[in-house]
């Protein structure tokens, strides 16, 4: 499978690598929040792969939406407690929104039944 042609995977991988640079600066006492961000980001990537190879894509895509919402919350909390700057927060929200738009486009395509 050529994942470079599957843009949502490319975007999510890029976001995960971007997160690595951010999470290094989190306080040690916030290891639970840091781990939740890492785990959910990797889970999203895994769910995207599973959705791509599954017949029942809707189930996986719905889970991706909920995990993206949780990431949004984690970063809102991170910004509120000053673990990240406004600039980083804005970039994260922009990236999450871009991924979410791609996901909704995929869901709309699946719902249309054009591929059948």
Residue 115 domain-assigned? Answer: no
Residue 20 domain-assigned? Answer: yes
Residue 93 domain-assigned? Answer: yes
Measured distance CA(59)–CA(76) in Å, rounded = 26
User: CA angle 41-46-50, nearest 5°?
Assistant: 145
For every one of its 116 residues, what pLDDT tens digit does the chain have, with 9 covering 90 and above? 444 458 999 999 999 999 999 999 999 999 999 999 999 999 999 999 999 888 888 899 999 999 999 999 999 999 999 999 999 999 999 999 999 999 999 888 888 876 55
Are the C-beta atoms of residues 96 and 71 closer than 8 Å to each other? yes
pTM over the 0.85 mark: yes
pLDDT of residue 17: 97
Residue 116 domain-assigned? Answer: no
Give me the CATH number covering residue 18. Answer: 1.20.1440.60
Residue 72 domain-assigned? Answer: yes
pLDDT of residue 5: 54
Domain count, the chain: 1
pLDDT of residue 114: 64
Q: What is the DSSP string of 65-89?
A: HHHHHHHHHHHHHHHHTTSS-HHHH
Residue 7 domain-assigned? Answer: yes
Range of the domain at 22: 3-110
pLDDT of residue 29: 95
Residue 15 domain-assigned? Answer: yes
Residue 80 domain-assigned? Answer: yes
| Contacting residues for 7 by C-beta, under 8 A, at least 6 apart | 102
């Amino acid at each position: 499978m050529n994942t470079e042609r599957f843009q949502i995977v490319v975007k999510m991988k890029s976001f995960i690598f971007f997160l690595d640079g951010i999470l290094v600066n989190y306080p040690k006492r916030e290891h639970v929040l840091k781990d939740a961000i890492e785990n959910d980001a990797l889970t999203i990537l895994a769910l995207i792969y599973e959705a791509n190879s599954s017949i029942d894509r809707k189930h996986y895509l719905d889970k991706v939406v909920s995990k993206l919402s949780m990431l949004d919350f984690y970063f809102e909390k991170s910004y509120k407690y000053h673990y990240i700057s406004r600039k980083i927060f804005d970039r994260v929200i922009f990236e999450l929104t871009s991924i979410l738009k791609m996901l909704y486009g995929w869901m709309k395509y699946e719902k249309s039944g054009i591929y059948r």
